[in-house]
Amino acid sequence: MAIETQGLKVRPGEKLQLGRRPTRIAPVYRSDEHYKELLHDHVRRLSELQQKLYASDRYAVLFIFQAMDAAGKDGVIKHVMSGVNPQGCQVFSFKHPGPAELKHDFLWRASRDLPERGRIGIFNRSYYEEVLVARVHPEILASEGVPGQRTGGKVWEERYQSIKGLERHLCANGTRIVKFYLHLSKEEQRRRFLARIDDPAKNWKFNAGDLKERERWNDYMRAYAACLGATSTRESPWYVIPADDKQNARLLVSQVILDTLAGLRMSYPKASAEHRRELELIRRKLARGGS
């Protein structure tokens, strides 16, 4: 049975108030065992659809994940994509741009890592950092050497339009894009930070910079709300995924991914009559024990 996810989609131009969006909803699973069964089924179906995506060689698919620290992006990607053939899927993480990247426009580095036809691409953070982190930290924008050193609202509107233009272009040329914002509460983030500190095996996941970003929580919520409403389109929608329950978030994300791939209505290529005759000759030879 498919899980309902349409209510999680951001309408184009929607004036979002993330404080009114739930970070936890009633779970779609009844127990831990049921969760495992549902996820296993999703992973199995995803693997089948990936094979069709590769074989049909018509579309590429790009899934973008954005969130505050500790929202569970890595876990979602790890669990949901566990059954996907690694040769047909690539994951890219976007950190602070380096010297070479700062010499180019803000979309340049992302364009290098776009998936080719037949493959799935995953961006763990993305070019959207340039209208989120750069908006909360204007010094980042200043370091990019944008002509005029613009820092007002106009620069963000221009970047929204640039992003939508890129995504429109990609969609017109066969790349389907779906974007996920994992919506974590500030209290749940606090608990997960404490767990990282208390567990030696998770200490590497936490640094003092995470706490500094937490202090800008409200600024980030405003930046996310403006961004999601401005850049969610019919062709490349945003989904706000309640993320306080990690297992529920994984099932919601995997359902959206399944719906996206199934919506491409892919099929395996049909062999031509000539190819079928060739295959039949080869089969006869092999059946006789030929090399």
pLDDT tens for 194-246 read: 999 999 998 988 888 889 999 999 999 999 999 999 999 999 999 999 999 99
Give the pLDDT score at 273: 86
Give the pLDDT score at 291: 61
Give the pLDDT score at 102: 83
3-state DSSP assignment of residue 81: coil
Helices 73-80 and 32-56 pack at an angle, to 10 degrees, of: 70
Give the pLDDT score at 1: 67
In the chain, which stretches have pLDDT less than 50? Answer: none
Q: How far, in Å, CA of 67 to CA of 132, rounded?
A: 10
Give the pLDDT score at 151: 58
Q: How far, in Å, CA of 176 to CA of 123, rounded?
A: 13
| Contact of 81 with 118, CB cutoff 8 Å | no
Tokens encoding 114? 């776009």
Give the pLDDT score at 179: 98
Cα 41 off chain centre by: 20
Q: Which of 78, 2, 1, 3 is nearest to 241 (CA)?
A: 3
Give the pLDDT score at 83: 86
| Contact of 185 with 24, CB cutoff 8 Å | yes
Q: How far, in Å, CA of 76 to CA of 254, rounded?
A: 9
